[in-house]
Structure 1
Amino acid sequence: MTSYKNADLHCHSVVSDGTLTPELLAARAHANGVDLWALTDHDEVGGQARALAAAQALGMAYLSGVEISVTFAGTTVHIVGLGFDPTNPQMVQGLAATRGGRNERARDMAEQLAAVGIAGAYEGALRYVGNPELVSRTHFARFLVETGVCRDTSEVFRKYLIEGRPGYVPHRWASLGDAVRWITQAGGVAVIAHPARYKFTANEEFALFSEFQQHGGRGVEVVTGSHSASEAARYADLARELGLAASRGSDFHSPDESHTDLGKLPPLPADLTPAWDLVAAHIHPGR
């Protein structure tokens, strides 16, 4: 089995809420020493063919990827899928249904912002959207920075667009079971993305991981752009305890916004099973 020293299996392009094309992301990953890459756009596989072609042209191994939004315990949780068939009909149809409510939600967000004196937010957010089906909070955040309402996107998410603040509108995503089934039935492995971000209680987190494994989920992101060293150590321990494979990904969105660049993460602990080993047969080698 090929050993990969710098796998980055979580990032976003203009096909969802990133600012770079799949081709530019591939070039950036390659320049930063990534030897196994996956593009994981939110609820969308439309960039997969481009990402694969770009990776292979650079001699970089590639795994198909997606990040699916699910609702669990009243919280939006993200499930990364790796190594699946991106043309699988159940996957494609399920993701289309998940994207379906985003536009209505975006209009409701804009109405809330208008009520506190921020006009034109819907149209402003659309200027940043590469895929009209995937207008998101990130696009609204970029508009609020551009217009000087906030200094940066971090300030946006402190003052707006989160629960209890103007512009927050919940969306009913897929169920956890749906997301895991779409991934596994398409031949991939399901991974809980950046678990420290959810701020669950111990009981809620136990329920998440238990249900995830019952549905066939097999991995967890241990090393990721939003995890501190202590959080990475905690989820490494949890992976060992539960027998889960471990994944690694920067969650890179933009050169101007992301704290962690593609390929710049610490390595996974050597005793953990890398998630990509579970789908090794589905890795596309670089040409």
Structure 2
Amino acid sequence: MKCDMHNHSIFSDGTFTPEKLVEIARESNLSAIALTDHNTILGLDRFLNAPNSSNIHLVGGIEFSTDYKGIELHILGLFIPKEFYSEIEEKVKNELKKKEQSNINLVNNLIKKGFDLTYEDIKNTTPNGNINRAVIANYMMHKGYVESVSEAFEKYLNPSNGLYTPPEKLSALDTIEYINSIGAVSVLAHPFLNLKTEDKIREFLTVAKEKGLDGMEVYYSKFSEEQTAITEKLADEFNLIKSGGSDFHGENKPEIKMGTGKCNLNIPYSVYENLKRRFSEKNK
């Protein structure tokens, strides 16, 4: 029995509907999956009520984009109680406006640099008009401006290149406290993607644990064996639940498959059980 606690739908930057995610989970022989769209819970009702003949355990979640000392960190909230949906959507509304404006500014800067593209054309490539830098990178690749998404980020979409200015974000530590306040489970997503080194991850975990951080992704599509081993060690050191997810986006990241990532994942069902147990403990 396997699970996948990090997936995206058309309600953020994935290419499949919430219902299709459940279907893919069944085809992939998964026993539990979470929907964790970026800064929105608008797909959760459809996800949790999707046809589910295999009785897969469905976890309603969200992936908050947050800031810690100028570093963008992603914090997952899992097992989001339905009574807080409206409150969460209101909480992230301003953040989404800031994000859209930063993406508009990025596209305008790319146009000034000579690229033949428009914001509307990029929006039209997505099911719900949701855009982030990965979508922009995909569009640039399909237009032939770059050979890969990673090349687009390296040459144009990284803040260090001067074309993209990240929007102001929620505080990572405040977000962890908020997730705990509503009885949900907080998980640090893909720590090596943002914090880069073991020392920086340890520094963050030291303060995040005091704020009530519940878990950390140790099984992740883009982690090396060494990075997985380090995060497992750190999870034990800080008494955190070991979580894991593919970060499945569908056709926007075709190399990543639900449940198996880049054929390097095998997330045990016990990950779901441990997260669910923490949720139950919080809501006795």
TM-score by length of 2: 0.89
In 2, the alpha carbon distance for the partners of 1:71 and 1:40 equals: 18
Contact 2:22 2:52 in 1 (8 A): no
1:274 aligns with 2:274: yes
Task: Letter of the 1:239 partner, please give it.
Answer: A
In 1, the alpha carbon distance for the partners of 2:13 and 2:157 equals: 15
List gaps (5 residues or longer) in structure 2: none
Does the residue aligned with 2:138 lie in a helix, a strand or coil? helix
The answer for the alignment partner of 1:222 in structure 2 is: 218
In 1, the alpha carbon distance for the partners of 2:159 and 2:124 equals: 24
In 2, the alpha carbon distance for the partners of 1:191 and 1:263 equals: 18
The answer for the alignment partner of 1:169 in structure 2 is: 165
Relative to structure 1, is the Cα distance of residues 209 and 36 closer, same or farther in structure 2, using a 3 angstrom cutoff?
same
Match of 1:77 among 73, 79, 83: 73
Does the residue aligned with 1:140 lie in a helix, a strand or coil? helix
The answer for the alignment partner of 2:94 in structure 1 is: 97
In 1, the alpha carbon distance for the partners of 2:79 and 2:226 equals: 28
Relative to structure 1, is the Cα distance of residues 230 and 136 closer, same or farther in structure 2, using a 3 angstrom cutoff?
same
Task: Single out whichever of 174-183 and 188-197 deviates more from structure 2.
Answer: 174-183
**What is the deviation of 1:8?**
0.5
Contact 2:221 2:246 in 1 (8 A): yes
In 1, the alpha carbon distance for the partners of 2:78 and 2:259 equals: 17
Task: Letter of the 1:70 partner, please give it.
Answer: T
Deviations 1:137-163 (A, max 9, x none): 122112112211122322222222112
Contact 2:79 2:279 in 1 (8 A): yes
TM-score by length of 1: 0.88
Task: Letter of the 2:266 partner, please give it.
Answer: P
**Mapping for residues 28-177 of structure 1, pairs under 5 Å:** 28-54=24-50, 56-88=52-84, 89-132=86-129, 134-165=130-161, 167-177=163-173
Task: Letter of the 1:277 partner, please give it.
Answer: R
Task: Letter of the 1:276 partner, please give it.
Answer: K
Task: Letter of the 1:110 partner, please give it.
Answer: V
Deviations 1:217-268 (A, max 9, x none): 1100010112112211111111111100111110011246243311222235
The answer for the alignment partner of 2:16 in structure 1 is: 20
Task: Single out whichever of 10-19 and 258-267 deviates more from structure 2.
Answer: 258-267
Does the residue aligned with 2:159 lie in a helix, a strand or coil? coil
**What is the deviation of 1:205?**
2.4
Contact 2:18 2:50 in 1 (8 A): yes
**What is the deviation of 1:211?**
2.2
Task: Single out whichever of 218-227 and 94-103 deviates more from structure 2.
Answer: 94-103
Does the residue aligned with 2:157 lie in a helix, a strand or coil? coil
List gaps (5 residues or longer) in structure 1: 283-287
Task: Single out whichever of 116-125 and 196-205 deviates more from structure 2.
Answer: 196-205
In 1, the alpha carbon distance for the partners of 2:272 and 2:235 equals: 8
Task: Single out whichever of 49-58 and 59-68 deviates more from structure 2.
Answer: 49-58
CA-based RMSD of the aligned residues comes to 2.4
In 2, the alpha carbon distance for the partners of 1:202 and 1:143 equals: 34
Deviations 1:164-196 (A, max 9, x none): 226422111110133213322222110000111
**What is the deviation of 1:130?**
3.7
Contact 1:236 1:269 in 2 (8 A): no
